Structure 1
Amino acid sequence: MSIEITVLFDVVPDRLTDTVEAFNELCAATQQEEGVLRFDAWRSAEHENVVVLVEEWADQGAIDLHMKEPYVADFLARVDGAYLRAPYVHRLRPLDA
């Protein structure tokens, strides 16, 4: 069974443009990784400054390798301080699990 994760980022309004650009670059690089089934960033239709990351991975090993990629560290440094609060991570599971 794959691993599905969503992460909500409440972005500081004056950092939104740069943060969206950073997410676009992160998604483009990550989508080339082995073991990633989906890695997309979306803007909330209801909340202007909320970015939602939607991820699906083949397994935990793929996630672990992803987190070691140099461009992930670059992304994290680039968006440091861009959030009003810590990102809200949802690791999903089936309703009956």
Structure 2
Amino acid sequence: MSIEITVVFDVVPDRLEDVVDAFKDLCAATRKEEGALRFDAFLSQEHGSAVVLVEEWADQEAIDLHMKEEHTAAFLARVDGAYRTAPQVHRLRPLDA
């Protein structure tokens, strides 16, 4: 069974454009990784400065490798200090599991 994760980022409004660009680059690079089944970022229509990341991974090993990638480290450095609060990470499981 794959691993699905949703992360909500509350972005400082004056950093939003930079963060969106950083997410675009991260998504493009991550989608090329083995084990990345889905990696999409969205802007919330209800909360203008919230970015929502929707991920699906083949397994924990793929996630661990992703966190060691150069493009992941570059993304983290690029968005450092851009969030009003810590990202809300939701590792999902089906209701019938």
TM-score bin, normalised by smaller chain: over 0.9
Structure 1 runs (4+) greater than 4 angstroms displaced: none
Q: CA deviation at 1:70?
A: 0.7
SS in 2 for 1:17: helix
Structure 1 vs Structure 2: percent identity of aligned residues? Answer: 76
Report the equivalent of 1:74. Answer: 74
**How many residue pairs are counted as aligned between the two chains?**
97
Report the equivalent of 1:54. Answer: 54
Report the equivalent of 1:92. Answer: 92
Report the equivalent of 2:83. Answer: 83
TM-score (norm 1): 0.99
Q: Deviations for 1:47-89, whole angstroms, at most 9, x for unmatched residues?
A: 0000000000000000000000011011001000000000000
Q: Distance in 2 between matches of 1:71 and 1:57?
A: 17
Q: Distance in 2 between matches of 1:39 and 1:77?
A: 19
Structural RMSD (CA): 0.5
Please show how residues 28-43 of structure 1 align to structure 2 within 5 Å.
28-43=28-43
Q: Distance in 2 between matches of 1:38 and 1:96?
A: 22
SS in 1 for 2:77: helix
TM-score (norm 2): 0.99
SS in 2 for 1:81: coil
Q: CA deviation at 1:96?
A: 2.2
Q: Deviations for 1:26-49, whole angstroms, at most 9, x for unmatched residues?
A: 000000000010000000010000
> Which 5+ residue runs of structure 2 have no aligned equivalent?
none
Report the equivalent of 2:23. Answer: 23
